[in-house]
């Protein structure tokens, strides 16, 4: 979570993304308390309203839930939740761009698939 | 809520502007004390009395004319930056001026008793008249100073400097001229006391009337300028 | 539907005319309690004049400023909730001000602000390592900025304005200021309006941004909302033109066959898909330049 903020995406989306990544990495476990709006605002020197927006996204997605009077907590099954959403978004966020780029440099589908296989070979 | 606010406004006005008047009066009194400490005359028994008042009148008048300029440069922009109102500032300046006035008059009375005690030449009637003239001179100087503030707010810096220099010269001229005139009338020289008394009374009346008129004129002008005053310009 | 006036500072048709120019024109705005606003605009856009009028330090030529529905003019009650800690300018205010000691300046502030917190002032004086015994004309620009920050914070006013508060401060002190601001804001919910030239550094701190141009209100909007509707579109000129037809377009740049524009989507508008262009998100500084840069 101690990453720095970049200019590419809206701040609050980055905040939400960072918390999700922390959950995936086991830095934040289920039923543990998530950082509060004020803590996030302080840590990243951003307006609390922005931090709140990021947290709200996670609440809407069911990744965090609110315990009245105490704060935000990581929901049960949050990890699965995040993984599933990221898998669904994988096509939109990565594959589409891959195809677009491949098209613009003149690679056809077979060549792209070959490259993907090669990555698989190198790793194993 | 309203009364608490009014109280707070009065408190801060009293503290800030009252202190200002007191500080300025203290400066004059210090100058006078230093001078009186070194003063060593023996022209005649009663001359210390007159010389001290002459000096007090001079110093007091000069400070009352120049002092308020600091209102424009410092006090006004600073207090208004911190939320002071315009009418509040107007009355604050009056408080400063009159505090200074009353402190100087009080000191003058004390010094009067001190010097009169050392001399038999100075009768009570003479002492009272000298004190009254001193007070009127201070009031006139205060008015000149107030008009100076108005001029400074309304006109450019050059205009203000011209006014201030002119005001000081005129003030000193009036005081010196008044003293010379009094000497020519021969105070304590056995001139016809009746005529002398008449002239003095006339001078006092004219002076007081002028002081009141100039005060009102200056006050109204100052009020108008304060309503359009802009901090930072 | 009339908006509640509780805890608001409103200006209506606020105007300031001088002989040679109109500094602020028909300004209409509502400042709410509990927000940090960023006021951005070029030099001479009228930011200082606006803040001066909002705090009664400069009388308006026309229009009113109301705090909780009360006109603030000559209203000590309303003014006790407002603090405009303006730049300490030795030059124009005459030599008298420069001769004043920092301690005296702060002490006078303490006298005038009813909710003044001396403990906070002392703490900040120490943190900033400020020598308060020095005269104002012996202090650097950065230290003068520190004094204005101390006054603003310790005033504990509901509506606090700062005009270029970080002028003269190095990057470490600037970062400290933003953190201090957020901490005080989080703790008290005071409203702050900060005008600044260093836009990008401060933009994360602003919940809403107020953009001023030539004395007028250009826009007042939630920062995130503004950024989410602003994009830089570039590609083949005809392609870009086709895509952005009917949109609010700024800052057109043409180089050879390529064209680049900044678009601001209007309410309900979406970016059309299927065009072969590069779409880039923008930061606040980019948007400001697009709207207020040369030639706009």
CA–CA distance, C154 with C142 (Å, rounded to integer): 18
CA–CA distance, C88 with C124 (Å, rounded to integer): 18
pLDDT of C94 above 70: no
Domain containing A68 equals 11-77
Q: In this complex, does chain B touch chain A, defined as having at least 3 beta-carbon pairs under 8 Å apart?
A: no
Beta bridge partners, B94, equal: none
- The answer to whether A7 contacts chain C (CB < 8 Å) is yes
Q: Is residue A2 part of a domain?
A: no
pLDDT of B180 above 70: yes
| Contact in structure between A63 and A76 (CB atoms under 8 Å) | no
B75 → chain C, closest CA residue: C97
Chain C residue numbers with beta carbons less than 8 Å from the beta carbon of B228 are: 59
Q: Is residue A19 part of a domain?
A: yes
Residues A18 and A48 both lie in one domain: yes
Residues A73 and A40 both lie in one domain: yes
Task: Enter the DSSP assignment of C119.
Answer: H
C114 → chain B, closest CA residue: B8
- Percent of chain B exceeding pLDDT 90 equals 45
pLDDT of C230 above 90: yes
| Contact in structure between B64 and B137 (CB atoms under 8 Å) | no
Give the model confidence (pLDDT) of B65-109 as tens digits.
888 888 888 899 999 999 999 999 999 999 999 999 999 999 999
Kindly write down the DSSP assignment for every residue of A33-45, as one continuous string: BPPPHHHHHHHHT
* pLDDT mean over C172-192: 96
Q: In this complex, does chain A touch chain C, defined as having at least 3 beta-carbon pairs under 8 Å apart?
A: yes
> Chains with ≥3 Cβ pairs under 8 A against C?
A, B
- B172: which 2 tokens? 């000193």
CA–CA distance, C159 with C81 (Å, rounded to integer): 6
Q: What is the CATH number of the domain that holds A40?
A: 1.10.10.10
Cβ–Cβ gap A11/C179 under 8 Å: no
Give the model confidence (pLDDT) of C111-164 as tens digits.
999 999 999 999 999 999 999 999 999 999 999 999 999 999 999 999 999 999
- The answer to whether B184 contacts chain C (CB < 8 Å) is no
- In the structure, what pLDDT confidence band is assigned to residue B42 with cuts at 50, 70 and 90? low
Residues A71 and A17 both lie in one domain: yes
Most C-contacting residue of B5, B73, B81 (CB-CB within 10 A), to test interface: B81
CA–CA distance, B27 with B37 (Å, rounded to integer): 15
* pLDDT mean over C97-107: 93
Q: Is residue A5 part of a domain?
A: no
Nearest to C201 by CA among C181, C186, C216, C217: C181
Residues A41 and A72 both lie in one domain: yes
- C-alpha separations of C221 from B17, C1, C29, C31, C253 in Å: 43, 20, 11, 12, 26
pLDDT at B40: 61
- C288: which 2 tokens? 């400001």
Residues A73 and A18 both lie in one domain: yes
| Contact in structure between B171 and B144 (CB atoms under 8 Å) | yes
Instruction: Look at phi and psi of residue B195 and say left if phi exceeds 0, alpha if psi is from -120 to 50, else beta.
Output: alpha
pLDDT at C1: 45
ipTM of this predicted structure: 0.89
- In the structure, what pLDDT confidence band is assigned to residue A34 with cuts at 50, 70 and 90? very high
* Fold of domain C8-225: Rossmann fold (3.40.50)
Strand duo C258-264 + C230-236: pairing: antiparallel
CA distance C191 to chain B (A): 17
Cβ–Cβ gap C204/A49 under 8 Å: no
pLDDT at B71: 86
Of A103-107, B172-176, C41-45, C175-179, the one with minimum mean pLDDT is B172-176
Give the model confidence (pLDDT) of C262-287 as tens digits.
999 998 898 888 888 889 999 999 99
| Contact in structure between B104 and B138 (CB atoms under 8 Å) | yes
Closest CB from C57, C85, C96 relative to B70 = C96
- Percent of chain C exceeding pLDDT 90 equals 85
What angle (nearest 5°) sits at the alpha carbon of residue C125, between those of residues C119 and C128? 140
Report which listed range, A54-68, A97-111, B41-55, is most confident. Answer: A54-68
Q: Is residue A42 part of a domain?
A: yes
Residues A48 and A94 both lie in one domain: no
pLDDT of B233 above 80: no
CB atoms < 10 A from the CB of B200, how many?
19
Residues A60 and A72 both lie in one domain: yes
CA–CA distance, C25 with B44 (Å, rounded to integer): 73
Residues A15 and A34 both lie in one domain: yes
Cβ–Cβ gap B73/C112 under 8 Å: no
Cβ–Cβ gap A42/C186 under 8 Å: yes
Q: How many folded domains does chain A comprise?
A: 2
Cβ–Cβ gap B232/C58 under 8 Å: yes
Output the CA torsion sign for B213, B154, C113, B102: negative
* pLDDT mean over B120-129: 79
Residues A29 and A70 both lie in one domain: yes
CA–CA distance, C196 with C176 (Å, rounded to integer): 16
pLDDT at B187: 56
CA–CA distance, C102 with C128 (Å, rounded to integer): 13
pLDDT of B199 above 90: no
Q: Is residue A101 part of a domain?
A: yes
pLDDT at B39: 72
Residues A73 and A83 both lie in one domain: no
pLDDT at C276: 85
Q: Is residue A43 part of a domain?
A: yes
Residues A66 and A84 both lie in one domain: no
Strands (E), chain A: 64-67, 71-74
* pLDDT mean over A104-124: 83
Beta bridge partners, C39, equal: C195, C210
* pLDDT mean over B140-144: 93
* pLDDT mean over C227-234: 93
Q: What is the mean pLDDT of chain B?
A: 85
Give the model confidence (pLDDT) of C14-41 as tens digits.
999 999 999 999 999 999 999 999 999 9
* pLDDT mean over C4-9: 78
Residues A16 and A69 both lie in one domain: yes
Most A-contacting residue of C177, C186, C199 (CB-CB within 10 A), to test interface: C186
pLDDT at A78: 92
| Contact in structure between C65 and C10 (CB atoms under 8 Å) | yes
Closest CB from B8, B15, B86 relative to C74 = B86
C104 → chain B, closest CA residue: B78
| Contact in structure between C32 and C61 (CB atoms under 8 Å) | no
CB atoms < 10 A from the CB of C115, how many?
12
Task: Enter the DSSP assignment of C138.
Answer: G
b or e along B101-122 (b: 16 or more beta carbons within 10 Å of the residue's beta carbon)?
Answer: bebbbebbeebbeebbeebeeb
Kindly write down the DSSP assignment for every residue of chain B, as one continuous string: -HHHHHHHHHHHHIIIIIHHHHHHHHHHHHHHHHHHHH----SSTTHHHHHHHHHHHHHHHHHHHHTTHHIIIIIHHHHHHTT--HHHHHHHHHHHHHHHHHHHHHHHHHHHHHHHHT-SSS-HHHHHHHHHHHHHHHHHHHHHHHHHHHHHHHS-HHHHHHHHHHHHHHHHHHHHHHHHHHHHHTTTTT--HHHHHHHHHHHHHHHHHHHHHHHHHHHHHHHHHHHT--TT-
Give the model confidence (pLDDT) of A17-30 as tens digits.
999 999 999 899 99
- The answer to whether A23 contacts chain C (CB < 8 Å) is no
CA distance C62 to chain A (A): 34
User: What residue segments make up the domains of chain C, in order of their start?
Assistant: 8-225, 229-292
Most C-contacting residue of A11, A49, A97 (CB-CB within 10 A), to test interface: A49
Q: Is residue A4 part of a domain?
A: no
CA C63 to chain centre: 20
Most A-contacting residue of C223, C277, C278 (CB-CB within 10 A), to test interface: C223
């Amino acid at each position: 979570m101690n990453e720095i903020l970049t200019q590419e995406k809206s701040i609050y989306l980055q905040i939400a993304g960072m918390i999700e990544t922390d959950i995936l990495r086991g830095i934040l476990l289920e039923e543990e308390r998530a950082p509060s709006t004020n803590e996030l605002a302080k840590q990243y020197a951003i307006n609390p309203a922005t931090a709140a927006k990021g947290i709200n996204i996670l609440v809407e997605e069911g990744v965090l839930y609110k315990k009245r009077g105490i704060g935000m907590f990581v929901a049960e099954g949050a990890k699965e939740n995040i993984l599933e959403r990221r898998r669904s978004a994988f096509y939109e966020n990565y594959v589409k761009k891959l195809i677009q780029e491949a098209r613009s440099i003149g690679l056809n589908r077979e060549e792209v698939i070959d490259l993907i296989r090669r990555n698989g070979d190198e790793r194993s | 809520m309203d009364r608490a606010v009014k109280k707070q406004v009065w408190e801060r006005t009293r503290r800030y502007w009252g202190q200002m008047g007191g500080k300025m009066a203290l400066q004059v009194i210090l100058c006078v004390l230093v001078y009186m400490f070194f003063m060593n005359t023996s022209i005649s028994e009663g001359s210390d009395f007159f010389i001290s008042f002459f000096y007090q009148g001079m110093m007091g008048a000069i400070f009352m004319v120049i002092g308020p300029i600091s209102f424009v440069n410092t006090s006004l922009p600073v207090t208004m930056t911190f939320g002071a109102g315009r009418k509040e500032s107007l009355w604050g300046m009056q408080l400063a001026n009159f505090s200074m006035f009353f402190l100087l008059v009080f000191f003058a009375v004390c010094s009067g008793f001190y010097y009169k005690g050392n001399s038999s030449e100075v009768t009570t009637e003479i002492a009272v008249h000298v004190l009254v003239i001193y007070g009127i001179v201070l009031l006139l100087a205060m008015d000149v100073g107030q008009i100076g503030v108005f001029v400074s707010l309304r006109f450019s810096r050059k205009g203000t400097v011209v006014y201030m220099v002119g005001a000081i010269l005129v003030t000193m001229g009036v005081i010196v001229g008044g003293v010379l005139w009094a000497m020519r009338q021969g105070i304590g020289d056995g001139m016809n006391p009746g005529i002398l008394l008449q002239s003095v009374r006339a001078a006092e009346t004219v002076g007081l009337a002028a002081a009141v008129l100039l005060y009102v004129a200056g006050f109204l002008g100052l009020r108008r300028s304060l309503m359009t005053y802009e901090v930072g310009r | 539907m009339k908006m509640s006036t509780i805890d608001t500072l409103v200006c209506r048709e606020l105007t300031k005319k001088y002989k040679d120019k109109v500094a602020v024109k028909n300004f209409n705005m509502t400042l709410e309690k509990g927000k940090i606003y960023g006021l951005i605009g070029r030099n001479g856009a009228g930011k200082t004049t606006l803040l001066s009028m909002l705090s009664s330090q400069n009388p308006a030529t026309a229009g009113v400023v109301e705090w909780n529905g009360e006109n603030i003019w000559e209203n000590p009650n309303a003014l006790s909730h407002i603090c405009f800690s303006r730049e300490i300018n030795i030059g124009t205010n005459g030599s008298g001000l420069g001769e004043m000691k920092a301690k005296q300046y702060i002490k006078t502030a303490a006298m005038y602000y009813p909710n003044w917190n001396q403990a906070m002032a002392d703490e900040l004086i120490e943190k900033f390592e400020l020598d308060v015994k020095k005269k104002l004309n012996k202090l650097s620009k950065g230290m003068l900025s520190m004094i204005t920050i101390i006054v603003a914070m310790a005033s504990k006013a509901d509506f606090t304005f700062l005009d270029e508060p970080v002028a003269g401060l190095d990057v470490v002190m600037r970062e400290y200021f933003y953190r201090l601001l957020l901490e005080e804001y989080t703790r008290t919910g005071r409203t702050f309006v900060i005008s600044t030239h260093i836009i990008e550094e401060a933009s994360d701190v602003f919940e809403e941004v107020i953009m001023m141009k030539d004395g007028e209100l250009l826009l007042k909007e939630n920062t995130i909302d503004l950024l989410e509707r602003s994009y830089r579109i570039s590609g083949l000129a005809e392609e870009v033109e086709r895509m952005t037809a009917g949109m609010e377009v700024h800052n057109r740049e043409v180089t050879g066959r390529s064209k680049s524009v900044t678009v601001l989507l209007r309410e309900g508008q979406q970016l059309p898909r299927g065009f072969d262009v590069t779409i880039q998100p923008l930061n606040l500084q980019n948007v400001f330049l697009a709207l207020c840069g040369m030639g706009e």
